[in-house]
Amino acid sequence: MDRTERILDLVALLLDAREPISWAELREHFPADYGGSDDAAERKFERDKAELVELGFPLSYVQGDDERRDGYLVDRNVYYLPEADLTKEELAVLYAAGSAALASGAFPGRDDLAHALRKIGFFAGESLPTPRVRMELGTGQEGQEKEVSARLEQLWDACSAHKWVQITYGSPRKDGVTERRVDPYGLALRRGVWTLVGYCHLRQGLRTFHVHRIRELKVNTARPRTPDFEVPADFSLDAHVAYFPWQYRFHEPMEVTLQLTGPQASRAGSLFPGAALEPVGEGVVRARFPVTFLDGLARFVLSLGADCRMEGPPEARERLERMAANILAKHAPVEGQRVSA
Amino acid sequence: MSNVHERLRRLLFLVPYVSKHPGVTVDALAKALNISREDLLEELDLLTCVGRPPFNPDDYIDIYVDNDRVYVDLDQRLFAPPRLTAGEAAALAAAAELLRPATGDALQSALTKLEGIIPPAARERFRDMYRKIDASADAPPALGPLTRAILERLEVTFGYASPGRAPEPRRVRPYELLSHRGQWYLQGFCHTRQDARLFRLDRMEDLAVTTTAFQPPPDARADVPNPARSASEASVRVRFTPTAAPYVKERFGQDARPLADGGVEVRVAGDSERWLTQWVLSFGGEAEVLEPASARAAVARAVHASIGS
């Protein structure tokens, strides 16, 4: 019998059973499947049971007593999906986000997500919203969606089963690629780019990897149901992934002060989330925050224009002025070219 | 995930779905399950062989197609789908984070209800897996009302600040929201300009949803903004140092032309001076505008303005 068919038969049998079903009875019911030697039959049934548990099938083994015999039983109250009573608005949020993630082509756990959306929509009937939210996620450039999507799916499985992965990684900072074994702790999305955070056995420490820069990826397939590692209890993804370029952990933290005026003053909170903001006059705001990559901040401050000034410390001002001088030198008028101001 | 696993999940949903929607068309059912019509018909064939021992005629699932519509007479207790697994709930919860904080209270209450429909034994695993994806995208607050306006097909009004110009009032039929490289855009029909337009959400102010309804076109799909592919005549040549080259190549692929010194050169649209200067400055000293001279001068002016010289 086809394995899918056999497992569905088991579901139908167990959902209908009022009494526990013993192993002997199961062998009787499925003579062609669970026949043969005791060992082979048991191994086959163990695999089917594992599949059922993975499907979320609430299967348990009951030890019998005077009243009841030993056997397998399913808690029907736990099996069936209850109505979640989501409001129209809640359903719209989950649907818009879920289908945007699916349509993006690159979201970890795509299959899981598709099933989840179907299930929460089961009771909604015709009132299901048709979302029009689209996201371009995870890729460095066009045409990479398929690869990134496939890798995210493998990483999602590896993260949830706690299995190590072997990656071939190409960083733009260095020529060539490196081979690494990584314990995947989690995945973070920042500004449209997916980052893998995990313990790198090559570097003997926590490292981050852009998923679109992973050239090859293999998940450890040995003993699939046994975890290879534990994620430390105090681990937090957010502590390892930068939102903004000045948060890359290249240097020791340095506190900088910026002065924002005009339209940038009212945007200070969203430009520099987490900064301590202090009004210092009519429409002028001072922002203080720690920086671990000064060049990243200097570039951003330059691009914001006249309404954002670096106040200090002097080291940061100097860095910014040197950068500005370098750009000006590169953009000095070329002789013979007419410049219209 | 194995094919058997995927198939089982699909079939455990299929029977209850037909039970709840008797007479659903084959095409609608295939669409709901995201499989082809042929694959669906094959799955329906398999289901007619499924049942419970002792396999008397009444013990089989009785599911059939009649006049291109699907019915189930005996569902063998598969009248509702299984609960969400930990993985399914975690993927959905992580995806929902994409719209935080724009979605406010609705997201939080939805997540609480979601946790309530996971089997109790799977809840700890759900929390563990949910923590493994961090997709908080810092979605702008305007996403909430705009999503609603798109769903309810209502026009919106807002002030829009084009670069270098004061905000001007716009009235727009919102079609689609698009997030590209961390930036959110609204695509829609602008009454003010009488044309389809892409608006950046961070340049909108005083957004209001009106009560004027409209009918959206069947397929309004926004083009992803790509400065190297825009059809503008006013193109600007930008050269990057070998240090910046790998990053530019990663972003522009074949649109980045390699140079003898290990750097690269890119041609981009130059019709937005503000965009161009911001972009060039964001590379620190690793980018240089080669031509036209007016764009070089614009970059120099922007640097002077930035450092107050």
Tell me the pLDDT tens digit for each residue of B185-209: 888 999 988 888 888 887 888 899 9
More confident residue, A338 or A55: A55
Residue B101 has pLDDT above 70, yes or no: no
**Type of residue numbered A45:** F
DSSP states along A1-59: --HHHHHHHHHHHHHH-SS-B-HHHHHHH-TTTS-S-HHHHHHHHHHHHHHHHHTT--E
**CA dist., res. A235 & res. B118, Å (int):** 25
Q: Percentage of chain A surpassing pLDDT 90? A: 48
Contact B140, B102 (CB under 8 A): yes
Beta bridge partners of B250: none
Question: In the prediction, which pLDDT does B305 show?
Answer: 85
> What does the pLDDT look like over B124-165, one tens digit per residue?
888 888 878 877 666 777 887 888 788 788 999 999 876 556
Q: Give pLDDT, residue A139.
A: 60
* Number of Cβ within a 10 Å radius of residue A35: 12
Asked if residue B6 lies in contact with residue B60, where contact means CB atoms within 8 angstroms, the answer is no
Chain B stretch 63-122, residues whose beta carbon is closer than 8 A to a beta carbon of chain A:
76-92, 94-99, 103, 106-107, 109-110, 113-114, 116-117, 119-122
Closest by CA position to B178, among listed B159, B153, B197, B154: B197
Pair B158, B172: CB distance under 8 Å: yes
pLDDT score for A140? 58
Q: What is the pLDDT of residues A232-282, one digit of tens each?
A: 988 888 888 877 888 887 888 999 999 998 878 877 887 888 889 999 988
Enumerate the residues of chain A whose CB falls inside 8 A of the CB of residue B33.
118
Give percent of chain A with pLDDT exceeding 70: 92
Q: What is the pTM of this model?
A: 0.78
CA–chain centroid gap for A33, Å, is 40
pLDDT value of residue A109? 87
| pLDDT on residue A133 | 67
Q: Cα B277–B235–B297 angle (5° rounding)?
A: 40
Strand B183-190 relative to strand B195-200: parallel, antiparallel, unpaired? antiparallel
Query: What pLDDT is recorded for position A341?
Result: 42
Per residue in B212-264, pLDDT (tens digit) is 998 888 766 656 555 555 555 568 899 999 989 888 888 788 888 999 999 99
- Residues of B with Cβ-Cβ distance to A55 under 8 angstroms: 5, 8-9, 12, 82, 85
Residue range A173-228, pLDDT digits in tens: 777 899 999 999 999 888 778 889 999 999 999 999 999 899 999 999 998 889 99
Q: If you search the block for the tokens 């090559």, which residue do you land on? A: A202
pLDDT tens digits along A106-120: 788 888 999 999 998
Dihedral class, residue A56 (left if φ above 0, else alpha if ψ from -120 to 50, else beta): left
Does the predicted interface ipTM exceed a cut of 0.90?
Answer: no
Tokens 């563990």 -> residue? B128
Contact B46, B60 (CB under 8 A): no
Q: What is the pLDDT of residue B221?
A: 63
State the best of B2, B8, B183 to mutate against chain A, taking most chain A CBs within 10 Å: B8
Q: Is the bond preceding residue A129 a cis peptide, omega within 30 degrees?
A: no
Which CA distances in Å does B135 have to A98, A321, B147, B165?
12, 36, 19, 34
The residues in B 288-307 lying below 8 A from A, measured between CB atoms, are: 288-289, 291, 293-294, 296-297, 299-307
Q: How far is it, in rounded angstroms, from Cα A285 to Cα B18?
A: 61
Residue A115 and residue B5: Cβ atoms within 8 Å?
no
